[in-house]
């Protein structure tokens, strides 16, 4: 049986007040999925962009601590507008557990600093179950990194 690859159909958003993290997260998402996410410097901007068509939003990756609106508040408001939206929390807070993040409405927790493999694993958790191709190849820092959620291989000097 042929594996069915996930084909994103909705809007993807990234919200983070750190311009470097915002750019890097967006670049990794594009590399992993082909999606060019919309980028926002805070939760309030992201929410404003979503309000006209909330059902079109598929995945959101948000920081927790941002000016004007926290990631937790953004998640809560997004889930009210569109209960099917999948929100990943990306945070540097070492005190937040996966269960605590789930209690706030997040579908996955991504601890900063994260690598390509961490983001790929978080995406595998939130994309539809029709995704059977969990192997993701990405080039990061001159290395080919392949993740299948149980095994990570780095191949140098290919």
Domain boundaries along the sequence of the chain: 11-131
The order of strands in the sheet holding 86-91 is: 38-40, 11-15, 57-63, 86-91, 108-111
User: Per residue in 65-79, pLDDT tens?
Assistant: 999 999 999 999 999
Give the residue, 15 or 137, on which the prediction is more confident. 15
- Choose between 122 and 153: higher pLDDT: 122
pLDDT at 143 (0 to 100):
38
Q: Give the architecture (CATH level 2) of 11-131.
A: 3-Layer(aba) Sandwich (3.40)
Q: Residue 98: its pLDDT value, please?
A: 87
pLDDT at 140: 37
Q: Is the pLDDT of residue 90 over 90?
A: yes
């Amino acid at each position: 049986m042929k594996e069915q690859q996930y084909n994103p159909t909705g809007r993807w958003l990234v919200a983070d007040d750190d311009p470097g993290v915002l750019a890097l997260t967006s670049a990794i998402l594009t590399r992993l999925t082909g999606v060019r996410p919309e980028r926002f410097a805070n939760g309030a901007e992201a929410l404003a962009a979503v309000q006209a068509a909330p059902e079109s939003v598929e995945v959101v990756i948000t920081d927790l601590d941002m000016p004007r609106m926290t990631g937790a508040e953004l998640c809560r408001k997004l889930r009210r507008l569109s209960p099917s939206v999948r929100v990943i929390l990306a945070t540097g807070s070492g005190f937040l557990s996966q269960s605590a993040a789930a209690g706030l409405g997040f579908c996955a927790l991504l601890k900063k600093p994260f690598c390509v493999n961490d983001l790929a694993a978080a995406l595998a958790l939130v994309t539809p179950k029709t995704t059977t191709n969990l192997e993701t190849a990405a080039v990061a820092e001159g290395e080919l990194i392949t993740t299948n959620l149980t095994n990570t291989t780095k191949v140098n000097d290919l």
